[in-house]
Structure 1
Amino acid sequence: MVSLFCAIGTPLMAAETVEFGSDESARYLSELRKLYLASNDREALLAHSNGLLDTYALRAGYQVGQANPQDFLYELSVATPGELRIREEVRGPGSGVAVRNRSLSVFGLDPYLHYQCPPQGPSCSISSPVDGLPLVVILRDPKGAEELAKALSFLIRNLQKG
């Protein structure tokens, strides 16, 4: 797996890590607070991450030719201090719906998340910092995956502060 460290605006390859400087971080968080009219960074980061998850949701309609197309929908929340809750809803053909709730304890984790957008297939994935398995799966859009990985990295860093 290729890992590159980059600044905002630098093109990234198929498997990347996103890292930012402190001036850049302050500017990014300030812009998000203004955009979402949020009173704090965590609220803005949650709103932005959930908005990106909705915008780049992998829907069955994008999976033309796939044997079993499914909708993958996610929602993030903060359960307790230092814990990110991930609600995953998978809708299969017909009316089959599976819901899974996972909690990610952020203490001790590397907050810089990796994402992958393979050239084949309809999806990108953001890797879990715990085991490298997909944390979330979204529509194949490298720019969207980059922005989501960035927002989630900032959110994890924020949650690590307590």
Structure 2
Amino acid sequence: MRSGLLQRLRRGLLLALLGASLPANAAGENVPASARQGDSGEASHSLALDGAERARYLSELKRLYPGKSAQRALLEHCNRLLESYAPCTQGRAAREAVPLFQLELLGDALKVRGELRHADGRLSLSERTLPLAGLPRQLGYLYPEQGALCHVLDPRDATPLLTLSRDLTGVAELTRALGLLIGELQQAA
């Protein structure tokens, strides 16, 4: 109970500090023209920031994570969002278990690490590496009409890359922050 309250407070703080950068559709309004409706009833969305919004967003992140470069602030912000919006696995069958994700920098690549704890206590690890060279900065997300999960999509092939609790604000914010992180890393390379 207490950890759930702390997660909601942390989410509120993160999103309050960056609130103006959230997309119009985070409140359920104006689904962007880039949204595609699939046969499964899932919508795919893509987000981007223009120059002034991007500068303001990065300034807010540097204030939220003092003493960190823009890249490190974005990485930490993405990981905190992944932690805050991690799917709740209590009461789920082992076949429905969802990994918890974390991002790491590996020189000229971004590593996506997934950790899945099975009902019998076993731990499964997965890793995906996203080479930064040529990686699109525009990321999309899937937000299904029903179900408990949503996904940030791999910019290379639009397959699910990260899984979160079904929360439009959280998936939109993570998608935006991850796209900016990729852009910052590519500029530094």
Q: Same fold (TM over 0.5)?
A: yes
* Residues 7-18 of structure 1: pairs in structure 2 closer than 5 A: 8-11=22-25, 13=31, 14-18=43-47
Match of 1:45 in 2: 74
More helix by share: 2
Q: C-alpha separation between the residues in 1 aligned to 2:151 and 2:98? A: 14
Q: C-alpha separation between the residues in 2 aligned to 1:102 and 1:15? A: 22
Question: In the alignment, does 2:62 pair up with 1:33?
Answer: yes
Runs of 4+ in structure 1 deviating by more than 4 angstroms, as ranges, are: none
Q: CA deviation at 1:136?
A: 0.6
Question: In the alignment, does 2:47 pair up with 1:21?
Answer: no
Q: Among the aligned pairs, what percent are the same residue?
A: 34
Q: C-alpha separation between the residues in 2 aligned to 1:62 and 1:56? A: 17
Please list every run of 5 or more consecutive structure 1 residues that lacks an aligned counterpart in the other structure: 1-6
* CA deviation string 1:75-97 (max 9, x = no partner): 111111x3101111112212021
Please say if residues 49 and 151 of structure 1, whose CA atoms lie closer than 8 Å, have aligned partners that are also in contact: yes
Please tell me the root mean square deviation across aligned C-alpha atoms, in Å. Answer: 1.7
Q: In structure 1, what residue type is equivalent to 2:61? A: L
Q: C-alpha separation between the residues in 2 aligned to 1:41 and 1:23? A: 15
Q: CA deviation at 1:117?
A: 1.1
Please say if residues 114 and 149 of structure 1, whose CA atoms lie closer than 8 Å, have aligned partners that are also in contact: yes
Please list every run of 5 or more consecutive structure 2 residues that lacks an aligned counterpart in the other structure: 1-20, 32-42
Give the TM-score of the pair, scaled to structure 1.
Answer: 0.87
1:53 aligned counterpart, secondary structure? helix
Number of equivalences:
153
